[in-house]
Copies of this chain bind each other. A is one copy, B any other.
Amino acid sequence: MEGEAGAASKEPKTARGEATRRAILDAAEKVIGRLGYSEASIGSITREAGVAQGTFYIYFKSKDEIFSELVREMGRSLRHRISDATADIPGRLNAEREGLRAFLAFVAEHPELYRIVQEAQFVDPEAYRAYFRAFAEGYRQGLAAAAASGEIRPGDAEIRAWILMGIARSLGERAVVFGHQTPVDELVETAHDLIVNGLKR
């Protein structure tokens, strides 16, 4: 046998190795978030991590691989954060609001992560699609259930899922990429009002 089933990459065997791997991953997040994938060199990552260049390859097979790992890790923590925030909110529309708030808070705290996911569309399209498919599916189920229970008007849950996802992403981008400083609560308020009541007078 070589390694575990999915065998991400070369797993460390000691606590020391674990710490080094972690340091490299954190450095990569920081550096790639700041410079973007192609500008970030292995050298800049290992420098940031305080290790030699060769050390990188003890823990990761390639530059692509560490990037994929970053994307997956980020997806996990974001999903976790949102499901925590919405776990015991009663009513789909309320859960929707809290999910949006949690999302915006998360991206404000981790602008690098946001940028990385966006870039994954080009660097690792498969990871990117998986990430959004997972999100869309979550939304879709919630909306379908809410329509069935009569909480919201009937309508195509899958398309609506993409609409809500788009709203969240756009507001996140407005803040992170375009630097607008509106407080999260105000964004959530405006968006939720539109989602619930529409624009019509």
What is the oligomeric copy number?
A: 2
Interface size (A, Cβ < 8 Å)? 48
Q: Which residues of B contact A198 (CB under 8 A)?
A: 194-198
Q: Which residues of B contact A174 (CB under 8 A)?
A: 162
B186 touches A153 (CB 8 A): no
User: What 1/0 flags go to A136-160 for Cβ under 8 Å of B?
Assistant: 0000000100100011110110011
Say what secondary structure dominates the interface of chain A.
helix
| Residue ranges of A at the interface with B (Cβ–Cβ < 8 Å) | 36-38, 93, 118-119, 121-122, 129, 132-133, 143, 146, 150-153, 155-156, 159-160, 162-163, 165-171, 173-174, 177-178, 182, 186-187, 190-191, 193-201
